[in-house]
Amino acid sequence: MFHSCFFMQWVLSAVFAAGTAAAQAGVVAYWDFEEGSAGTAVVSAGDSVSGLAAVPAAGDVQYVAGNDSAAAIESGILKAEDPNGILNGLTELNITFDINLAADVTGGTQVCVRNGYSDISFNVYLQAGNAILARLTDVDGNDQTVRAYGSDLSAAVGWQTVSVVWTGSELSISVDGVFQLLNYQEITSVSVPLGRLVDSDADFGIGGMIRTDGTTSQKLNGSLDNIVISNTGAVPVLSTHAGTVASWDFEEGVTGSSIVEALDSASGLTAVPATGSPVYVTGSGGGVAAGAGILKVPDSAKRLIGFSKFEIMFDVDLNQDVTDGTQAFLRNGYSTVPLNIYLQSDNTILVWLTDINGNEQITRAYHSDLSAAAGWQTVSVVWDGRALAISVDGVAQQLNSTPKTFAVVLLDELADPDADFGIGGMIRANGTTSQQLDGSLDNIIIKTPDLVGTLSFFGLDG
């Protein structure tokens, strides 16, 4: 069955496909510029959430073909009056937009979005080398600027998606779903412990800065589309938009019958019983799922190895909460374990990765939101080669006993396993099994951007 949650995996905030957004909890403003058509002048661009109208402040602002083949804007600066303070007083912030640079930035400052002139609640702008900078100021006058030097933005690429997320304590910047290294360090998150953001003293600017007297400067040399501002600072879970290497939906079976072989619809990998008596059960959307045993997947074609990035999603229905021991959702390998997603006491979700150099790292979501009482839930694990995130039903889990919802996991290509891929348990090298999941699994999807060369947020066209 089609995975109903697949295109809805923003964490704590909204999901916005590039050009196909829908308002979700926490979103305060969204401009998609769909009211216009390419080649015409912008008169008033409506925000579909709060009704903030963006009108030309300087230059001849034109609609152009957008990232989603519909309309975007270029060539000038828009301003949005905000008499009700919709964009003021935020204590968390998530700004996402699509951008198409006309030329790489070699000097000066170019504003993407800015709220305020002297009192700047937030400002996302570009400087030389396509550096992305995010500046925040709180009501006490404290301000902080975070810089993604040498970002992945490039005029040669065309449309790209930028996201700036501030949780109230941590700030991250991503391009096409890939976390950027910040402040000349090997880190993808910076501590930004500010209070409530200051009320701006000037109109909100799109594509440039608006002064208090209405004049403008710092115009962006490029186009913008799908500008989304949320007051929920959830760190985005990264994802691929293509590159599925395996997908088991178990729809070949009938509830109550034994599983003989479950065929992966992407690569033809067959999952067969390894132990127990796996049966088909009622799945997460009323279809069919797998329960009551461990499946193994022989992978002679080596489709499930050598990942340097991945997204893995599955639905799970626990029979009971985990109080001790280890239960495997998905595991590849026995002694050499490139990938293992498993459960321990208090429904803690763990992800264990090992690379070709023998380096390994385990990320833990202690006391996760998984619960046997909840019934079917969706788990997602995404690793972009530098950072790893775990979510349950679209909500990012705090990791490693910290408030952070992603962990830095800097590993090389994952190692080759020494045993079959296991679904619902561990397969040893001699074919015996253990760590059986006490529950059912459905809609297992494994994707790697290595097939397409890019990462993006869930649902975004890269």
DSSP secondary structure string, 276-311?
EEEEEEE-TTSSEEEEEEEEEE--TT-TTS--SSEE
- 358 and 310 together in one domain: yes
Return the ∠ at Cα 348 (arms to 459 and 187), rounded to 5°: 60
- 165 and 243 together in one domain: no
Structure token pair of residue 210: 């608006």
pLDDT in tens, 256-283: 999 999 988 887 889 999 987 889 999 8
Residue 171 counted as domain residue: yes
Q: Band of the pLDDT at 171, cuts 50, 70, 90?
A: very high
- Which pLDDT value is given to residue 354? 96
- Which pLDDT value is given to residue 437? 96
Q: Is the pLDDT of residue 175 over 80?
A: yes
Percentage of the chain beyond pLDDT 90 is 60
| Boundary residue ending a domain (181, 213, 233) | 233
- 65 and 36 together in one domain: yes
In this prediction, residues 20-30 reach a mean pLDDT of: 55
- Which pLDDT value is given to residue 158? 92
Produce one character per residue of 29-47: b if its CB has 16 or more CB atoms within 10 Å, e if not. Answer: bbbbbbebeeeeebeebbb
Residue 12 counted as domain residue: no
- 308 and 422 together in one domain: yes
User: For residue 351, which amino acid is it?
Assistant: V
Q: Band of the pLDDT at 459, cuts 50, 70, 90?
A: very low
- 221 and 247 together in one domain: no
Domain count, the chain: 2
- Which pLDDT value is given to residue 233? 56
- 60 and 209 together in one domain: yes
- 293 and 408 together in one domain: yes
Question: Could you give the C-alpha distances from 299 to 73, 212, 398, in angstroms and in order?
Answer: 48, 64, 33
Q: Is the pLDDT of residue 452 over 80?
A: no
| β-bridge mates for residue 100, sequence order | 223
Domain with residue 260: its CATH number is 2.60.120.200
- Which pLDDT value is given to residue 13? 30
Residue 381 counted as domain residue: yes
Of 56-70, 120-134, 320-334, which gets the smallest average pLDDT? 56-70
Q: Band of the pLDDT at 462, cuts 50, 70, 90?
A: very low
- CA-to-CA distance for 326 and 437, rounded, in angstroms? 8
Question: Is the pTM for the entire model greater than 0.85?
Answer: no
- Which pLDDT value is given to residue 12? 26
- 252 and 198 together in one domain: no
In this prediction, residues 436-446 reach a mean pLDDT of: 94
* Count of C-beta atoms within a 10 Å radius of residue 114: 25
Structural domain for 90, as ranges: 23-233
Q: How many CA atoms lie within 13 A of 120 on its CB side?
A: 19
- Which pLDDT value is given to residue 275? 85
Residue 389 counted as domain residue: yes
- 308 and 349 together in one domain: yes
Residue 202 counted as domain residue: yes
- 294 and 422 together in one domain: yes
